[in-house]
Structure 1
Amino acid sequence: MSRHVAIVTDSTAYLPPQTMERHGITAVPLTVVLGDRALEEGTQISALSLADALQKRHPVTTSRPSPETFASHYRTLAESGATGIVSLHLSGELSGTYEAALLAARQAPVPVRVVDTGMVAMALGFCALAAAEAVRAGATPDEAVAAAEKRAAGTSAYFYVDTLDFLRRGGRIGAARALLGSALAVKPLLELTGGRIEPCEKVRTASKAIARLEEIAVERAGAAPVDIAVHHLAAAERAEALAARLRERVSGLTDLHVSEVGAVIGAHTGPGLLGVVVSPH
């Protein structure tokens, strides 16, 4: 039974293609609208193109996959032998992706468990990996969901952004908070809490904010076995330097992933983003 349980997530998990292939995970792409072009995240628009568009202040918006897109993926998996599907997605507070998956699940030819993980980026990716590992070990769909939800409950995500302006424009943070941050000339640290991106701390300079981001990650990791992901947008050197320091400081580190976020998250955070996801086993 277990080998016939398929794991589906979406493109905001930012799992490396080789990792998805190894674990048998399918990622349904969200859409980025750049000017008058609708492009699939991960295949039709690069992080570099996105960063360039944002820096030039071109209009960029995002949209969920359609229910029909999810339905097509569910049918393909069923035709390939899946007898059950676990579909894990980014926070419903940030996107309508979960609702689209729910609509498609009602018409799927096999049972589909759709889960709002409350996560995003590799915080979501680690949930998908937990579910896939459970399935490989013989888990039922319900047990795979439980494994993903347990991973989500212990996972933390923190972000540094150069400016709150992109989050304000995308409606992901209140205008008052964004204006306050700009007025005080602070460098904000944000956290994923309750499925939303919320202010965590305000720091005066970029270097101090990134140092504080490192300290938070180390504190959250503790000494137990833990996976960490470092994300960035157009800030590869910062990300690699932070990752190197975390490798030295986190004694229980199992895996550390460094990756550039895709267009959906990048459109709301802007270039200069640096993020850390801490996910205990």
Structure 2
Amino acid sequence: MAGRTVVVTDSTAMLPAEVAAEHGIIVVPLQVVIGSEVHDEGSPGATPERVAEALREFLPVSTSRPTPAALQQVYDDAAEAGATRVISIHLSGEMSGTFESAQLAARAASIPVIPVDSRQVGPATGYAAIGAADALAGGATPEGAVAAARARADAASSYFYVDTLEYLRRGGRIGAASAILGGALAVKPLLTITDGRVATWEKVRTASRALARLEDLAVAAAGTGQVDVCVAHLASPDRAGALAEHLAQRLEDQLDGRTIWCGELGAVVGAHVGPGMVAVCVSPVAG
């Protein structure tokens, strides 16, 4: 029997509230722990600004996935509201236990739930969720919507610049990027997401060169097709704004009137990359 399928994602996907509402996507918060205080991402106590301030002050900052019970409640609430199936799309299982929580919650949920590991982090996960919602709106089956989400996640390119690898090192999330620790202190790393993990893309000597390379990499990733683009930052609005402005000019044809999202990175991801981070995500638009 056909029914209504809803899409769930998590707060690291960086979906603006109005975009999530437009597509009917339910967003589940991760938690940020600052000192001894636990806050939902997006709440007044866990804003990106607060996280950046805490990191600068060397306060302990960590993050926590939603519990399986919390996700099961979201799924059951969706069922109460009339949903007959859920597609739950989350950040890479290599970087967080959120996908595992979704798998556990799915087993106990009152309706069928399809957990999806996007193998991405940040806006690329958000675009995957939008891909699923758009597919459903176009009449796709739940399985077709999952395929659309996976395809959009796989096609996305994410590159980011960090002032220091220290925060990634502390959180144990640098993966292959660990190769540039140690004696490379004068090098500014450009990182990417490869197979669900942070990996080194290349090394440059200055911050200005790194930002110029982010721009060129985004243009190359866009190619000649239609794309969505997001520029994210933590405590670096001027750099991010300049990058978004340049990309809007260079990718005018590929954007076809769509605006570039430009905003502060969520507090959870921000806690692991530190102030000064600038990222760009390029996501090809299906069909």
TM-score (norm 2): 0.94
Partners of 1:30 and 1:83 lie apart in 2 by 25
SS in 2 for 1:8: strand
Note closer, same or farther for the CA distance 1:202–1:2 as it changes in structure 2 (3 Å cut): farther
Letter in 1 for 2:119: G
- The equivalent residue for 1:207 is 208
Match of 2:267 among 230, 238, 263: 263
**Counterparts of 2:182 and 2:269 in 1: how far apart (Å)?**
21
Specify every segment of 5 or more residues in structure 1 that has no aligned partner in the other structure, as ranges: none
Once the two structures are TM-superposed, the CA of residue 86 in structure 1 deviates from its matched residue by 0.3
Q: Which residue of structure 2 lines up, in the alignment, with residue 253 of structure 1?
A: 255
What residue in structure 2 maps to residue 179 of structure 1? 182
User: What corresponds to 1:46 in structure 2?
Assistant: 47
Q: Verify the 8 A CA contact 1:231 1:261 in the aligned structure 2.
A: yes
> Corresponding residue for 1:29?
29
Q: How far apart are the structure 1 equivalents of 2:181 and 2:134? A: 40
Gaps of 5+ in 2: none
Note the 1:83-94 alignment, pairs <5 A: 83-94=84-95
Query: What amino acid is aligned across from residue 82 of structure 1 in structure 2?
Result: A
* 1:280 is the counterpart of 2:284: yes
| Counterparts of 1:261 and 1:192, CA distance in 2 | 16
- The one-letter code of the counterpart of 2:271 is A
The one-letter code sitting in structure 2 at the alignment partner of 1:263 is A
* Corresponding position: 1:11 with 2:11: yes
Rounded Cα–Cα distance in structure 1 between residues aligned with 2:199 and 2:34: 26
Separation in 2 of the partners of 1:3 and 1:205? 54
Structure 1 residues 142-151 or 168-177, which shifts more? 168-177
Partner deviation per Cα, 1:143-180 (whole Å, 9 max, x = no partner): 11011011011101000000001000110125553224
Quote the Cα distance in structure 1 between the aligned partners of 2:2 and 2:200. Answer: 41
Task: Give the superposition deviation at 1:223.
Answer: 1.4
Separation in 2 of the partners of 1:252 and 1:77?
Answer: 36
SS, match of residue 133 in structure 2: helix
Please say which of residues 198-207 and 247-256 is displaced more in the overlay. 247-256
Q: Deviations over 1:222-255 (max 9, x none)?
A: 1111111000001111111100100111131243
1:110 and 1:51, CA in 2 relative to 1: closer, same or farther beyond 3 A? same
Deviation digits for residues 103-143 of structure 1 (CA, Å, limit 9, x no counterpart): 00001111100000101111001000011111111122111
Q: In structure 2, how many angstroms separate the alpha carbons of the residues matched to 1:243 and 1:5?
A: 34
CA deviation map 1:183-214 (0-9, x unaligned): xx111100011100111110000000100111
Shift, 1:181, TM fit: 3.0
Q: What letter matches 1:179 in structure 2?
A: G
Which stretch shifts more, 64-73 or 35-44? 35-44
Secondary structure of the corresponding residue to residue 134 of structure 1: helix
Q: Is the 8 Å Cα contact of residues 3 and 84 (structure 2) preserved in structure 1?
A: no
CA–CA distance in 2 between the matches of 1:55 and 1:2? 52
Structure 1 residues 53-75: Cα deviation after superposition (integer angstroms, max 9, x where no partner): 01111110111100000011001
Counterpart for residue 143 of structure 2: 142
Measure the CA separation in 1 of the matches of 2:188 and 2:75: 43
Change (3 A) 1:16 1:2: farther
Which residue pairs with 1:124 in the alignment?
125
Q: Distance in 2 between matches of 1:98 and 1:90?
A: 7
